[in-house]
Chains A and B, each alone.
Chain A
Amino acid sequence: MSGFMQTAVSQILVKGQFVVLLYFLAVNGWYLILLVSSLLELRRHMLLITDESRHLLLSSTLSPTISILAPAFNEETTIDASLRALLALQYPNLEIIVVSDGSKDRTVQVLIERFDLVPVKTIYEQRIKTKPVRSLYRSSTYPSLVVVDKDNGGKADALNVGLSFARGELVCAMDADTLIEADGLQRMIRPFLYGTDVVATGGTIRVVNGSEVKFGRVVRTAVPTRLLAGVQVVEYLRAFLFGRLGWNRLGGNIIISGAFGLFQREAVLSAGGYLHDTVGEDMELVLRLKRLSYERGGPGKIAFVPDPVAWTEVPESTKVLGRQRDRWHRGLADVLWRHRGMFLNPRYGVTGLVVFPYYAFVELLAPVIEAVGLIALALGLATGVVDWSFAGLFYLTAYGLGTALTAFTLILEDLSFHRYETFRDRALLFWWALVENIGYRQLTVYWRLRGLWKFMRGKKDWGSMERKGFHPVPAG
């Protein structure tokens, strides 16, 4: 390389390092604020719920009706157990609407046979345009069960159909294979009882891989020993316990997981339901509800409640996980682009001035900055601008604070719910918190960059999610 070139590359690398390191420090500094915020919020929450009597709510005829919307696509192997677990949820006024989204397997037949379903005339109040409904079933033995069979249109379309059939004041959107803990709804409904300004609440999603499941319930929790599942346990804890809980206190929650969220039905219908042409339909709906609350007035508070738990199976193959992360990032980009009018717009309060820029600069652009940093480091090593010891130090510094924050998240979990009790689980959790920085994080950078690239090219496919199903996992 010529002297001039070397100097130029050196200059770029030097400046690039500064930018990347400053970005890392700024992001982690913000995370630190979120961590403190979540600690305060968690303390307040624990004080509120310690020794509370939820059985009063459970047996009260005044409790609002909740309609659970469970979209199902080719779930013949798991639908029986999943639905029985839903029917056994501890909530007094419950309606369950299973929407088979054009399943090509025996999902509907299994339901007909095992839940005494009979076909009824298919009419409903269609307030949102959806794919045609083929047939409607009601159960002879479970009065609160409604099964809808419709043409395939995607999860958003299935949820919209479910919204049309629901009669509850609140609707709980979930994935058909999500395992909601028996008292999850009792816990998640609290914000709706506490205030009239709440439009949606979300609960915590935990990773079921490695835990033991019987009859649709998690009976023994354990941290998985396999790498991909293990690091995702740590990721989920971080996302929910300090991400969403932290934003709760700052008034900036805009994400309710599509796997477990509770919404005011009328508000969702008035907003037009879920959008079909986005892969981030859950975040899009929440942001739209928030936006409309600023524009039209009315309830707009999004509350995250940490103690209701739903368990989900996370992908254990890089291929499937990559597709999921790529889709999530495409969804994020799409949602931010659709609502770009909110960006730094004082009309939208905290959401426009703080939350939106955070999601744009931190969540959306993080993989770009991280990739630039990694490439610059590699280039620096290749051109001899940096030596190995410096590169190692730079790498460790960049990821070190993140790891420390993850460790603090583990403390939050331990101080509050401590679901992982054994020494083995603690050691594993800490191990995965360290290991995720070596290889896994870089992989997620690649997947998210791929998602961004696809978004820019206008791709909107979901990709397939292969699941193993909730079979009992041997202890050990």
Chain B
Amino acid sequence: MISKQLLNIVMLVEIGLLALAVGVFFAHGFWLLLNQRRIRRLTDGARESLSHLVTRGTVNVEDIDALRQLPNDVQVIAFLEMSRNVTGTGKERLSFVARQVGLVDRAEKLCASRRWTRRLRGARILSRLGVVDPLVQQLLSDPHPAVRAQAAEWAAAQPSVPVISAMLILLADPATQARFAVQDALLRMGGIVAGPLATFLERHTGRAAEAGLRVAESLAEPSFGPAALRLSRANDVGVRVAAAKLLGAVGDAAAAERLMELLDDADSGVRAAAAHSLGRMQHWQAASLLALRLRDSAWKVRRAAGLALRSVGAPGVLFLRRAIKEDDAFASDMAQQVLDLPTAAASG
């Protein structure tokens, strides 16, 4: 039989572990309570000093001193909280004050750290404060994708030629996190990206081009037209789909013509994207071709063609009504469903 002695030893170890866990659990709870109170008390004061400095526009030494004396964690909380509520001049003042109190210096040191978690933290603070800093720009080529993504987020508010060039290179980033952040940041930079992006699209294919096309589609600048036309002939299906969508956003005559050709593409995804884009352009001249696509073998093409016809307006609706009486059950059913859709759902 297992000896009582052995059980007693195991039991004692367990009691020790349990006591430790309970002690830590309640002690941590108590610490949390005290810490929350401390942070609340200190941030109230910090908030007041910061709002003076940010809204008045004059540098008050007393307020800066008060902020400088705050513990680091409270400083970060107060500045990041304020950063959410200010833009433009307010943000510039905030980053000026952050530099004065030493927060920017500390964040820069973090950016230069060997540990990626610290670099991420530093980049995050500088991004939120909107600090123009070459250190963060360097992080666009950081080995860790989370840090690159954070640097891209920072870059969204710093649209300059070197930053945009560095960002465009990252469109081919193998890490999706960084790629998504770069796409999003380029989009947020707005029209300034259009020229470099158009040049980029003219020279690239594959994953980088596909990522760029998605950004271009949202920016919808006419200058993307030639690149979209070229890429709509790419071998890669994903690129052709993205190019078809961009052509719909560009919306000129050449785009419409190419989209009508793409309705006969070998890939159903490309045909669906072309139909969708023609609907987006409300290109009524394509109504008869779209009506033919109601008989397509692929569901998503029939669906996209039906919705596009509905978007086109009266001519499209006429084709849909005719399709209801067709012998082709696929076309007839799809036409009926699209016509049944409430306006909000049809355009969604």
Interface residues of A (CB under 8 A from B): 14, 17-18, 21, 25, 44, 47-48, 50-53, 56-57, 60-62, 116, 118-123, 125, 138-144, 192-196, 385-386, 389-390, 393-394, 396-397, 400-401, 403-404, 407-408, 410-411, 414-415, 418, 421, 423, 426, 430
Contacts and interface: CB of A to CB of B under 8 A. Distances in A.
Interface of B: 1-2, 4, 7-8, 10-11, 14-15, 17-18, 21-22, 24-26, 28-29, 32-33, 76, 80, 117, 120-121, 124-125, 127-128, 145-146, 153, 156, 175-177, 180-181, 183-184, 187-188, 214-215, 218, 299-300, 333-334, 336-337, 340-345, 347-348
Contact of B345 (A138, A193, A403, A426): A138
Contacts of A17: 1-2
A410 B11 CA distance: 21
Pairs of residues from A and B, 8 with the lowest C-beta to C-beta distance, nearest first: A407-B21, A400-B14, A143-B348, A120-B340, A121-B337, A125-B299, A404-B17, A140-B342
B14 A397 contact: yes
B333 A121 contact: yes
Nearest to A408: B21
9 contacts: A14-B1, A56-B156, A116-B342, A119-B340, A120-B341, A140-B345, A193-B177, A414-B28, A414-B32
Given A17-B2, A56-B181, A61-B187, 6 more contacts: A51-B76, A120-B340, A125-B299, A196-B176, A408-B17, A410-B25
A403 B1 CA distance: 25
Contact of A53 (B11, B120, B153, B336): B153
Nearest to A142: B344
Nearest to A409: B21
A21 B2 contact: yes
Contacts of A44: 117
A372 to B, nearest CB: 15
A14 to B, nearest CB: 5
Nearest to A126: B299
B273 to A, nearest CB: 13
A118 B10 CA distance: 67
Given A121-B333, A123-B337, A195-B177, A394 B32 contact: no
Contacts of B334: 123
A249 to B, nearest CB: 16
A341 B32 CA distance: 49
Given A17-B1, A60-B184, A426-B29, A396 B120 contact: no
B176 to A, nearest CB: 6
A393 B7 contact: yes
A90 to B, nearest CB: 15
Given A21-B2, A50-B121, A144 B348 contact: yes
B311 to A, nearest CB: 14
A18 B3 CA distance: 11
Contacts of B117: 44, 47
Given A47-B120, A426-B25, A62 B218 contact: yes
A411 B11 CA distance: 21
Contacts of A401: 14, 17
